[in-house]
């Protein structure tokens, strides 16, 4: 791996209590592990959950993925959970057995919680090599599974039967949200469609979910300025070469989509290794702060040790962020894992 800067990548063992020469980074810059789940949301607050890169679970540790979705379904009422956001790299090799694991895990949410998904680079092409945009996502999570749900908004207008680009409409706590789910390295015309969707729902608070956007050094992916100095940029994959560079990275999405609208509040992505955590807070031309987060736990033992992110939206418009593992029953209160944000 390249591009190891302020934080360092290291494979850790159980609970991340060892470090080696590079230090203990895979649980965050400074882990502060405490037994038990995060506190329940306060009066008037509600929660959304984030599931980053489940690829290692689907390849060899399915019990971690199953435990995550089972716990979320069980917590629906007590935590006032409203939705689950999957950040892509659902599988590792885009094979049928791995998609079967993902389908089994996510179906535990059916009838309990709506979930919104995007494909990652490992969900494309034979062997998950992302040489083109072929994927088994629609075979295992077809549009027919979503279109009758009250949260379903629609799909990319030029590929209406595919779930690789979709949007969803959610109401919670007296607030209305638009969750925009875009493919890995979105194509220019997909971004054209996305702008139209966000403009149509300008009165809703918008959340962007895509697989590659924020980098681990608290910046956005920026091929034009940094090129291969940032590892795993969408422009470096075969899918970009095969399309004449028709992909967008984080900076391009900020310029061509997010900053053009005053209703975006959050973006989420996975994909990036090293410590798998990053955050950028930027202001739109109109002065609205957009918090952009990288969340990825796949480097931890057993495919991620069940770590997921909980987002508590409070009535006073704060966002309380907690990272929790239902398999370890630990909450990480480190400075990159326990956040209190406002806009």
DSSP string, 144-205: GGTTTSTTEEEE-TTSTT-SSSEEEEEEETTEEEEEEE--SS--HHHHHHHHHHHHHTTTSE
pLDDT band at 14 (very low <50, low <70, confident <90, very high): very low
Please provide residue 240's backbone torsions phi and psi, each rounded to the nearest 5 degrees. Answer: -75, -45
In a domain, 331, yes or no: no
Residue 26 lies inside a defined structural domain of this protein: no
Count of domains forming the chain: 1
Phi, psi values for residue 149, rounded to 5°: -80, 145
The region of weakest confidence among 20-24, 62-66, 171-175, 291-295 is 20-24
Structure tokens belonging to residue 342: 């406002």
Any idea what the CATH number is for the domain that residue 165 is in?
3.60.21.10
Buried b vs exposed e over 143-164: b needs ≥16 C-beta within 10 Å?
eebbeeeebbbbbbeebeebbb
The mean per-residue pLDDT over the stretch 12-17 comes to 29
Residue 41 lies in a domain: no
If pLDDT is split at 50, 70 and 90, which confidence band does 29 have? low
Nearest to 214 by CA among 151, 267, 159, 164: 267
The helix, strand and coil proportions of the chain, stated in percent and rounded to the nearest 5, come to 25, 25, 50
Cβ–Cβ under 8 Å, residues 74 and 67: no
Mean pLDDT of 204-230: 98
Torsion of CA 178, 182, 185, 186, to 10 degrees: -90
Structural domain includes residue 326: no
Strands (E), 182-296: 205-209, 264-269, 277-283, 289-295
**Residue 336 domain-assigned?**
no
- On whether residue 334 sits in a domain, the answer given is no
Domain boundaries, position 251: 48-306
- 32 in a domain, yes or no? no
The predicted model scores a pTM of: 0.92
| pLDDT (tens digit per residue) in 110-165 | 999 999 999 999 999 999 999 999 999 999 999 999 999 999 999 999 999 999 99
Q: Residue 2's pLDDT is what?
A: 30
Residue 8 belongs to a domain: no
**pLDDT for 36-92, tens place per residue?**
999 999 999 999 999 999 999 999 999 999 999 999 999 999 999 999 999 999 999
Residue 279 has pLDDT above 70, yes or no: yes
Strand pairing of 152-155 and 339-342? unpaired
Q: At 282, list the tokens.
A: 């930027």
**So what's the pLDDT on residue 21?**
26
For residue 343, what pLDDT band results from cuts at 50, 70 and 90?
confident
């Amino acid at each position: 791996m390249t591009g190891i800067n302020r934080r360092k990548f290291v494979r850790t063992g159980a609970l991340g209590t060892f470090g080696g020469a590079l230090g203990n980074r895979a649980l965050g810059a400074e882990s502060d592990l405490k037994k038990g789940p995060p506190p329940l949301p306060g009066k008037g607050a509600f929660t959304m959950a984030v599931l980053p890169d489940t690829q290692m679970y689907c390849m060899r540790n399915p019990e971690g993925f199953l435990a995550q979705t089972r716990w979320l379904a069980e917590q629906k009422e007590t935590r006032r959970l409203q939705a689950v956001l999957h950040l892509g790299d659902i599988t590792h090799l885009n094979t049928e057995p791995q998609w079967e694991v993902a389908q089994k895990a996510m179906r535990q949410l059916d009838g309990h919680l709506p979930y919104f998904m995007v494909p990652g680079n490992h969900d494309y092409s034979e062997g998950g090599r992302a040489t083109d945009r072929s994927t088994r996502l629609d075979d295992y999570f077809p549009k027919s599974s979503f279109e009758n749900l009250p949260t379903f908004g629609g799909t990319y207008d030029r590929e209406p039967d595919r779930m690789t680009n979709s949007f969803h409409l959610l109401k919670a706590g007296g607030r209305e949200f638009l969750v925009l789910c875009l493919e890995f390295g979105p194509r220019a015309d997909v971004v054209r469609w996305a702008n139209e969707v966000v403009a149509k729902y300008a009165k809703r608070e918008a959340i962007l979910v895509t697989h590659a956007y924020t980098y681990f050094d608290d910046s956005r992916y920026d091929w034009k300025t940094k090129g291969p100095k940032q590892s795993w940029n969408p422009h470096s994959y075969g899918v970009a070469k095969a399309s004449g560079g028709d992909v967008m990275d984080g900076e391009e999405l900020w310029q061509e989509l997010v900053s053009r609208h005053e209703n975006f509040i959050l973006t989420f992505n996975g994909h990036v290794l090293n410590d798998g955590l990053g955050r950028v807070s930027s202001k739109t031309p109109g002065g609205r702060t957009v918090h952009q987060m990288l969340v990825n736990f796949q480097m931890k033992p057993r495919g991620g040790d069940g770590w997921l992110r909980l987002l508590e939206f409070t009535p006073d418009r704060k966002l309380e962020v907690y990272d929790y593992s239902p398999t370890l029953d630990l909450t990480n209160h480190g400075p990159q894992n326990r956040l209190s944000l406002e806009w």
